[in-house]
Amino acid sequence: MSEILTRQDCLALDAADPLRELRNQFTLPEGVIYLDGNSLGALPAATPARVAAAIQQEWGEGLIRSWNSAGWIAQPQRLGDKIARLVGAAPGELVVADSTSVNLYKVLSAALSIAKADAPERKVILSDRENFPTDLYIAQSLCAQHGLTLELTSAAELQARLAGGADIAVLMWTQVNYRSGQMLDMARVTALAHAAGALTIWDLAHSAGAVPVDLKGAQADFAIGCGYKYLNGGPGAPAFAWAHPRHADRFWQPLSGWMGHAAPFRFDTDYRPAQGVSRYLCGTPAVLAMSALECGIDTLLAAEPLGGMAALRAKSLQLSRLFIDQVRQRCAAHALPLASPLDDAQRGSQVSLAHNEGGYAVMAALIERGVIGDFRAGASSEAEPDLLRFGFTPLYTRFVDVFDAVTALAEVLDSGEWRQARFNQRAAVT
Amino acid sequence: MSEILTRQDCLALDAADPLRELRNQFTLPEGVIYLDGNSLGALPAATPARVAAAIQQEWGEGLIRSWNSAGWIAQPQRLGDKIARLVGAAPGELVVADSTSVNLYKVLSAALSIAKADAPERKVILSDRENFPTDLYIAQSLCAQHGLTLELTSAAELQARLAGGADIAVLMWTQVNYRSGQMLDMARVTALAHAAGALTIWDLAHSAGAVPVDLKGAQADFAIGCGYKYLNGGPGAPAFAWAHPRHADRFWQPLSGWMGHAAPFRFDTDYRPAQGVSRYLCGTPAVLAMSALECGIDTLLAAEPLGGMAALRAKSLQLSRLFIDQVRQRCAAHALPLASPLDDAQRGSQVSLAHNEGGYAVMAALIERGVIGDFRAGASSEAEPDLLRFGFTPLYTRFVDVFDAVTALAEVLDSGEWRQARFNQRAAVT
């Protein structure tokens, strides 16, 4: 455990933080400490004007002409090239389209199309028992369609399972677990999967914009990711999809809409996929939503002159370590087992604390005090506890925010105020 | 042919038009006559402020809390209920989600899931040779996956084909053809399909908000439609999907994302579809895009006290008839065969004129004069000519706009200005 930092120490850390100016890119509400950027990123200050221009000038004035004059038609590739810079991919390798779930359907189909050609005897999709449910649901659908088996394992058992993995067609994993924040070493796991002859799909929902990702360096096969978490693209923002160039002209995906056609404006009767990852496209691009997403991506690219994702990662780890230390020191009277890895190398950009007695109410009481994290129910067991989740987004989270959040947590727990009935009136929370 | 109307007559028609105030709901650029609402609807005046509020208050201030407090989570159903009023469906029968192409994949899969259970020997999907390509591409994908055949026919041959239709699983048709504007009688064709034992899928891309649609009255089985054409939802707006209640708790669709789960926030490991059409949902709803779409839908619902879709249809037919008459009278020196049905009952809300010699250049010259329609290339044959398309959206198109558009067309043709090289520099146009 580190020395005990005071609030003054945290203010000093903020003052010395080389990334401190990046926070000015965001519009954050007064009186709120926002520790839920892992669920929905905060609003970039540039977004309202950019979307207003897309609506009023491009749509309102330009009307149909803006497909060309405002570059709407090239948005999926243009934004894809920007995201590529954040995840270790090259221009032309990544496109923005649809939702994360829809894109997972495409990339899993794509991987299966290649596995079927190269190794038709492999019948297993291997994934994480604790994967985000939508990933499992999409895999279940494709397993039912293709006569495959979805087998679930854990990060701890993964290496042993891959060692005997001659039956595995595809390893599909979310690099940073949405509950615990546990992060896998993509290069190492990809190498193990490849050694077993399996293809890899990486869900970067909690990685892209949160931790350095090097898809090409890891020799990964396929990837998808989310636009509304660490990319700050706004609620329900479009998602992205990537394929390694060695697969990009070869894979098949079933959502064969006109925008993924080799020549969409020839209006041919027969489908012919576009070159490369543009075949991931399906329907007409979501222009307005992509305008907002681009502003979000730009908040991350603004960190490039300051060291980019490596610098953001260093600060993220400082923030999450500070949070862990402060909770240990200042909430020691309460049972709050750490549900995230203590080892920096295995921790994404969030920290989860177990609280089976009243996690939902504790979070509700925190939110009333202006500290916004979120709650994820478990099986209320030791193996899968109820969780308080706190996300740290180095673009806009300050060290003093961490200190003040722990102050609020300590007060909520010390006072027992969370035991009041009003804090336990559950509503759906994403 | 009707009597020749003068510009003064058209102004008088506008002054007497009971729907004339509906135009004030839109922000239209100065100096433009917009006849392309069949491709991209115009900007509602309410949209910029509504989207700004969704961005600044709901996202910026409310952050993650807005999933509940701003009702984001219920948007797909709430907007679906509004669209239902325009297409003869009941509340709870229709949802907004994803793109038209993605939704077609879902509804075609849904129809096939039912056909497979009830009539597994039927192996044909029947569609329109001139259907919008994305519909054919999606059907080709599903045919390849399910071992089915996509058979293409024409509206003229449809009745005879259905009469011998014991092999047809699903009839998939776009009610109003995107090229010719030809409209099918949904009730009659659905009855023919049902008599043959086939299910029906109606693509309402050029119907919803353009012509009265009565899905329930027609006993249709499945339908989809587009948000960015006559619904004025903005470029790439989310689309919608419907199922007749007799199928709604029974169909399967493969895009089994978490938002279509019976209990998304239980984070169960196994997929269990939601009741009814909510199982069409897949990923996280596109909140910002849906905020814009809702303003567009509201511009149509504002016509309800004035007679709703029936009144809009009456004006739409007046507009398209006026256009046809004016072109015949004032462009008589030029070969411009009508490529849309002359019979009102068979014509949607657009008029297409054939121009094989230089359709693209003629449209480019018109656009330079501020008259915006669009161009759709054909095989440049008599059977499938190049087309100039003009859409008439009675919410904002005036009779004098029709007159002035024909004036511009006559001038472009009479002057021969479209023969200048600069008008033939093609760019992609959606």
Domain ranges of chain A: 7-43+307-424, 71-301
Report, as an integer, the average pLDDT of B387-395. Answer: 97
If you compute the radius of gyration of chain A from its CA atoms, what whole number of angstroms results? 22
Report, as an integer, the average pLDDT of A224-250. Answer: 98
- C-alpha closest to that of A269 among B110, B152, B65: B152
Residues in CB range of A288: below 8 A, 6 or more apart:
A51, A54, A55, A59, B51, B234, B235, B236, B237, B288, B289, B292
Quickly list H helices, B99-227: 100-118, 133-146, 155-163, 186-195
pLDDT reported for residue A430: 42
Exposed e or buried b for every residue in B273-299, given b needs 16+ CB within 10 A?
bbebbbbbbbbbbbbbbbbbbbbbbbb
pLDDT digits over B137-176, tens only? 999 999 999 999 999 999 999 999 999 999 999 999 999 9
**Closest Cα in chain A, distance from residue B352 (Å):** 17
pLDDT digits over A70-123, tens only? 999 999 999 999 999 999 999 999 999 999 999 999 999 999 999 999 999 999
Residues in CB range of A144: below 8 A, 6 or more apart:
none
Q: Do domains A7-43+307-424 and A71-301 have the same CATH topology?
A: no
Q: Which residue of A lies nearest to B76 if distances are taken between CA atoms? A: A236
Report, as an integer, the average pLDDT of A362-376. Answer: 96
Q: In degrees rounded to 5, what are phi and psi of residue B166?
A: -65, -15
Residues in CB range of A220: below 8 A, 6 or more apart:
A186, A190, A200, A202, A244
Q: Which residue of B lies nearest to A138 if distances are taken between CA atoms? A: B256
Give the nearest partner residue to B288 out of A72, A266, A288, using CB atoms.
A288
pLDDT reported for residue B430: 42
- C-alpha closest to that of A204 among A384, A38, A82, A392: A38
- Which helix (H) or strand (E) covers residue B63, if one does? none
Report whether A405 contacts A10 (CB < 8 A). Answer: no
Q: From CA A396, how far away is CA A74, in angstroms rounded?
A: 30
Strands B94-97 and B239-243, by their bridges, are antiparallel
Q: Collapsing DSSP states into helix, strand and coil, what is residue A255?
A: coil
User: Are residues B257 and A152, on separate chains, in Cβ contact within 8 Å?
Assistant: no
Sheet holding B350-354, edge to edge: B350-354, B387-391, B374-376
User: Are residues A136 and B269, on separate chains, in Cβ contact within 8 Å?
Assistant: yes
pLDDT at B428 over 80: no
Q: From CA A27, how far away is CA A25, in angstroms rounded?
A: 7
**Residue B172 β-bridge partners:** B127, B201
3-state SS string over A61-73? HCHHHHHHHCCHH
**Residue B387 β-bridge partners:** B354, B376
Report, as an integer, the average pLDDT of A19-41. Answer: 97
For CA atoms A367, A372, A377, A383, give the dihedral sign: negative
Q: In degrees rounded to 5, what are phi and psi of residue A388?
A: -95, 125
User: Are residues B287 and A234, on separate chains, in Cβ contact within 8 Å?
Assistant: yes
**Superfamily holding B7-44+308-424:** Aspartate Aminotransferase, domain 1 (3.90.1150.10)
CATH of A7-43+307-424, one of 3.40.50.300, 3.90.1150.10, 3.20.20.70, 1.20.120.1200: 3.90.1150.10
pLDDT digits over B236-289, tens only? 999 999 999 999 999 999 999 999 999 999 999 999 999 999 999 999 999 999
Q: Which CATH architecture has domain A71-301?
A: 3-Layer(aba) Sandwich (3.40)
pLDDT digits over B291-337, tens only? 999 999 999 999 999 999 999 999 999 999 999 999 999 999 999 99
User: Are residues A134 and B235, on separate chains, in Cβ contact within 8 Å?
Assistant: no
pLDDT band, very low/low/confident/very high, at B427 (cuts 50, 70, 90): low
If you compute the radius of gyration of chain B from its CA atoms, what whole number of angstroms results? 22
Looking at this protein, which amino acid is placed at residue B153? T
pLDDT digits over B33-80, tens only? 999 999 999 999 999 999 999 999 999 999 999 999 999 999 999 999
Instruction: Choose the mutation target among B39, B68, B101, B130 for the interface with A, i.e. most A CBs under 10 Å.
Output: B101
pLDDT band, very low/low/confident/very high, at A2 (cuts 50, 70, 90): low
Q: From CA A309, how far away is CA A303, in angstroms rounded?
A: 7
Q: Which residue of A lies nearest to B41 if distances are taken between CA atoms? A: A63
Give the nearest partner residue to B59 out of A67, A235, A239, using CB atoms.
A235
Give the nearest partner residue to A256 out of B98, B138, B266, using CB atoms.
B138
Helix orientation angle between A287-301 and A75-86, rounded to the nearest 10 degrees: 30
For CA atoms A63, A67, A71, A77, give the dihedral sign: positive
Quickly list H helices, B47-132: 47-53, 66-69, 75-86, 100-118
pLDDT reported for residue A421: 87
Instruction: Kindly report the length of chain B.
Output: 430
User: Are residues A99 and B43, on separate chains, in Cβ contact within 8 Å?
Assistant: no
Q: From CA A94, how far away is CA A78, in angstroms rounded?
A: 9
Write out chain A residues lying below 8 Å of B98, CB-based. 98-99, 102, 283
Mean residue pLDDT of chain A comes to 96
Report whether A239 contacts A103 (CB < 8 A). Answer: yes
Report whether A418 contacts A371 (CB < 8 A). Answer: no
For CA atoms A51, A54, A57, A63, give the dihedral sign: negative
Mean residue pLDDT of chain B comes to 96
pLDDT at A381 over 80: no
Q: Which two tokens stand for residue A164?
A: 């005997």
Report whether A430 contacts B285 (CB < 8 A). Answer: no
